[in-house]
Amino acid sequence: MIPIQSKLPGIATTIFTVMSKLAAAHKAINLSQGFPDFDCDPELVNRVTAAMKNGANQYAPMAGTVELREVITRKTENLYGAIYHPESEITITAGGSQAIFTALAAVINAGDEVIIFEPAYDSYAPTIKLLGGLVKSYELIPPNYDIDWELVKKLFSARTKMIILNSPQNPTGRMLTESDITALTKLVKGTDVLILSDEVYEHIVYDGQKHLSMASYPELKERSFVVASFGKLLHTTGWKLGYCMAPDYLMKEFRKVHQFNVFSVNTPMQLGIANYISDSSKYDDLSSFFQQKRDAFRGMLLETKFKLLPCNGSYFQCVTYADIADTNDKEMAIKLVEDFGVASIPVSAFYIRNTDYKVLRFCFAKKESTLNEAVNRLMKL
């Protein structure tokens, strides 16, 4: 064996892979990983298939097909009043995670500090470390996971390069508010701090709330990479197709990395999706679709011993079991799989520091029958 020095010595297999493998071994209902157990619209499959049959089976342009980039331009202008030029400010990526990695790789140098809000999507911190950057984490506290921007300000230093935001947030379902946006704008004004805004759940918001995109605010837009995902939008997480939007000067740097990372992504899927979502009704009803699932799932969980935490967006529901057991959340998640046949994610996996808030995350992007059976099993706890 040849000795090597690991660039990520403290990183093991992700908790998502661990819990899904455990779920399969115990034939448990998998509410851990964030993907649907129902099919996407057959019409979408037909449109992708038609693109294949029409010969669109070679490399797409590096930035993505012009058809899809133009649809994204129209979609973003209609939703957020923001214009991104399809030629120079939009790039199609192999999912949201690749867009996040590429944005960070494009601008983070050794010693740069990046502020993240934890619990945070698990790719942020390792990618920053891989690039030689330093993670400065702000710890959000359940149940509401509110942000004290005066405390965030104290994390700033001369080496602060970027803030990563995720709204609606995975795993908490928290959404940025107008007061958050006001505080953020004040905080970065007059600085060179960039923003990476992970907005992959932009269409999954509840109770009549509005998703607040960095694209909507000119003073934030000019310093932001905005990341989105077709997997969440179209129930096609396995297709791994997303995109990044950014001002021309940032997108130039993004594409320098993108071209040597994946170069370009799946051509027929890009064309099929462009054709499919040119009609906005394909995503207009997504919030109501998932709100029905959220409301039903929360109603069912009220019959268990768990206490519900707020869920304002995303398709994840967090619960606390503090009144049920004193064990840590990873042990509790394993217990639910082994003894009750339901897989969840321990939320401590989304923190760098060892925490013990006794919170689990369930994914409710599932068939009604799946959720019913999962809760029936949880009621035995």
Per-residue pLDDT tens digits for 67-110? 999 999 999 999 999 999 999 999 999 999 999 999 999 999 99
Two structure tokens written together for 65: 């097909």
Helix (H, G, I), strand (E, B) or coil at 316: strand
Q: For the chain, what percent of residues have pLDDT higher than 90?
A: 93
Helix (H, G, I), strand (E, B) or coil at 95: helix
Report how far apart the first and last C-alpha atoms of the chain are (Å, whole number): 47
Confidence check: pLDDT of 250 > 80:
yes
CB-based burial of residue 8 (10 Å sphere; 0-12 exposed, 13-18 middle, 19+ buried)?
exposed
CATH of domain 42-279: 3.40.640.10
The answer to whether 313 and 175 have CB atoms below 8 angstroms apart is yes
Separation of alpha carbons 206 and 291, rounded Å: 6
Report the predicted TM-score, pTM, of the whole model to 2 decimal places.
Answer: 0.96
HSE at residue 289, side-chain half, CA atoms within 13 A, is 19
pLDDT for residue 266: 97
Residue 218: count of CB within 10 angstroms of its CB: 9
Confidence check: pLDDT of 281 > 80:
no
pLDDT 10s digits, 296-309: 999 999 999 999 99
Per CATH, is 15-39+284-378 categorized as 3.90.1150.10?
A: yes
Separation of alpha carbons 232 and 214, rounded Å: 19
Mean pLDDT for 371-380 is 97
H-helix segments, 189-266? 218-221, 230-234, 248-261
Report long-range pairs for 213-219 (Cβ below 8 Å, ≥24 apart).
213/79, 213/80, 213/82, 214/165, 215/76, 215/80, 215/82, 215/84, 215/245, 216/80, 216/81, 216/82, 217/181, 217/185, 219/185, 219/189
Highest mean pLDDT among 9-13, 131-135, 352-356: 131-135
- Domain extents in the chain: 15-39+284-378, 42-279
